[in-house]
Every structure is written in structure tokens, then in C-alpha cells.
Amino acid sequence: MRIVAGFSASPEDYFLARAAHEPPYVLQKQLWPWIEQWEPRFEARARRQCSAEGGLDDDDLAADGFLKLMRRLRIVLLQDLAVLQPRYPSLPFFAYAPFNGPEWDEFAVAVRSDAVGATEPLSLLVQRALPELSGVLESTREAVLQNSQRLAIRLEARLEGIQDGLDALLQGKVPVTFTGHFGAGPAVSLAPAPAPSTATTLNFNTAPAPAPEPPVPGMPVVAALAKVFTVRDI
């Protein structure tokens, strides 16, 4: 019923201070005492014993489940009425056993003392918060993964473009133009220059020496190196 109503199916998601107190068995057996009479017969039926042997002739799963439900409900009834008795003392329940007597009074006082000012345990609060934290972490993780994938795709596209350009350049698919500038430079003589002489020479020719002939210009030298320009393949 709790699950159908939309509540969690996990028992750890609920906290009732009165549920921590197990009613004494002397109080439990006073409610629906026929439970103790029928449970041994179902246990005998599980051992394949018939009614003549103290069991049952047929399997009855519904009746077995009903007995287990009633055993659980009588515990809940004792716990709830211990809390409700001060609020509704005129309820007819309290006029009958087991809701009177020393055993009941001791149990009811213990339940009510813990129910006043009870707070939920920290461990339970953490368990409730974990699903919310898990959802936040999961959404953050998905966002980070999506951004990483987008960045990886863009980076891969850039790298492919650079690789294609390098491949085209190495394979000669991109034309290359060499541009150079040639200017006039000083003449270069390949003959070694004569070593200066320190000996004194006497010139007995009094005629003026002929004017030296102008040097013949040699091959021009490259004044500027060639510059390489890569022309984009359009």
C-alpha cells in the first residue's frame, strides 16, 4: 500500500521513534492469540505433514501470509496506542487487556519518553540526501562529458586540416614560387694576390709609367638570397 501511494519501498527511508521499542511478548500474545495456534500447523505443513499429524491437508499461502501480517500488525498496534493513549484516553481499547496493567504501563512510558523530542538519526538523513547528491553529480558528469566530446571533435577537425595541408605540400600539390633579387657586387679575382716585396728596386727608366688598365668587371654576385613564398592552392 505504501508503494502504491507513491512512497519509497525501502524501509531505511522511514524513522519512527516508537518503532525502536519491541513490545513484550506477554503483551503481544494477548492480541489475537489464535496466531500462536495456527502458526505451528503451517510450519508442520511445510514439512509435508497432514492435518492428522498436526499440519494441513493443503497448502494455503494466503492464510500463511495473513498470519504473518497479523503478527506484524499487533506489534504496530501496541506501539501506536502507547503514543495515542495520552491524547485519546477515552478510546475503548484501553478498557481491555493488554492495554492496562503494569506491563502495559511500563512499555507505554518507555515509548512516550523516546517519542518526545525525537530527532531523525544523522545516518538516515545522509541516506536520504545521497539520491539527491547522486542526481546532481550525474547531471554534472553528463555536462562535462558533452563539453569534452565537443572540444575533442573540434580539435580533431583542426588537426585533420593541418595534416591535409602538410600532406599536400609534401606531395607537391601546392605550387611553390621562388623570388630572388640579383645586384652588382665587387669583382672577385680568383688569382692570389702577390706578396709584398721588401727588397729595394732601382728604376733606371725615366719615362713615366703607363697608367694601369682598369680592372675587368667579373661575374656579378648575388646580393640577396632567394625568398620562398608558398602560394595557397585555390
**Could you read off the pLDDT of 132-168 as tens digits, one per residue?**
676 677 788 888 998 999 999 999 999 988 988 888 7
Helix ranges restricted to H, 29-101 = 34-46, 61-84
| Separation between Cα atoms, residue 113 and residue 224, nearest integer Å | 103
The mean per-residue pLDDT over the stretch 203-229 comes to 50
Residue-level pLDDT at 170: 79
Residue-level pLDDT at 132: 66
Q: Average pLDDT of the chain?
A: 75
| Separation between Cα atoms, residue 192 and residue 187, nearest integer Å | 14
pLDDT one-digit tens code per residue, 76-127: 999 999 989 999 999 998 888 899 889 999 999 988 887 766 555 566 566 6
The mean per-residue pLDDT over the stretch 60-88 comes to 92
Residue 182 confidence class, pLDDT cut points 50, 70, 90: low
The mean per-residue pLDDT over the stretch 166-193 comes to 63
Beta-carbon contacts of 29 under 8 Å, excluding residues fewer than 6 positions away, are 36
Ordered by start, the domain boundaries in the chain are: 11-119, 124-176
